[in-house]
Amino acid sequence: MERTLIIIKPDGVQRHLVGRIIGRFEQKGLQIIGLKMMRLGREMAEKHYAVHKGKHFYDSLINFITSSPVVVMALEGAGAIEIARKLVGSTFGSAAEPGTIRGDFGVSNSFNLIHASDGPETARFELGLFFGPEELSEYEHADRTWIYDWSKGEPE
Ligand code: CMP
């Protein structure tokens, strides 16, 4: 099973989309193993977006992500990183495909509602940044035998 980090950004919270966005991941079959609301300080935001330091959008991105509370979520599932990225859609709201979170709920390129880790290394780093081990719950969904085919011993 793979884990990934999701951030519902300030615009998602302010636009009352938290429930519907979380619902997209739940409906797909990804398991919520961590969830909290927080206001990001500059230091945390700068660590999270360190790879973008120096880019033309960096300062406004840091201002935006620290401007109001966010909801952070840890998800688990087979192929969770790639699946979550597909549910989120492409970066810019103006171009994101209908059916995706960004495609269905927004039109802005900078206020793009949500962040999802873009690979295994990033996911490990971002999960470690936002969640302590004691904040992640390991449990089995009662319907896990219907979410996946376990007949070969692995989730398929
Ligand atoms: P996110 O998935 O959180 O990762 C980096 C963020 O930078 C991205 O979503 C956008 O919110 C923001 N951003 C703003 N301008 C750009 C740009 N030109 N290219 C990529 N990301 C951008």
Domain ranges of the chain: 2-147
Question: What is the CATH architecture assignment of 2-147?
Answer: 2-Layer Sandwich (3.30)
Does residue 52 have an active-site annotation?
no
pLDDT in tens, 90-134: 999 999 999 999 999 999 999 999 999 999 999 999 999 999 999
> Among 12, 110, 127, which Cα is nearest to 63's?
110
pLDDT of residue 19: 98
Q: Of the listed 52, 56, 115, 141, which one is catalytic?
A: 115
Digit-by-digit pLDDT tens for the chain (156 residues) are: 999 999 999 999 999 999 999 999 999 999 999 999 999 999 999 999 999 999 999 999 999 999 999 999 999 999 999 999 999 999 999 999 999 999 999 999 999 999 999 999 999 999 999 999 999 999 999 999 999 999 999 999
Closest atom of ligand 1 relative to the 92 alpha carbon: 10
- How far is the C-alpha of 7 from the C-alpha of 113, rounded, in Å? 8
Q: Are 30 and 84 in contact (CB under 8 A)?
A: yes
The H-or-E segment that residue 102 falls in is helix 101-105
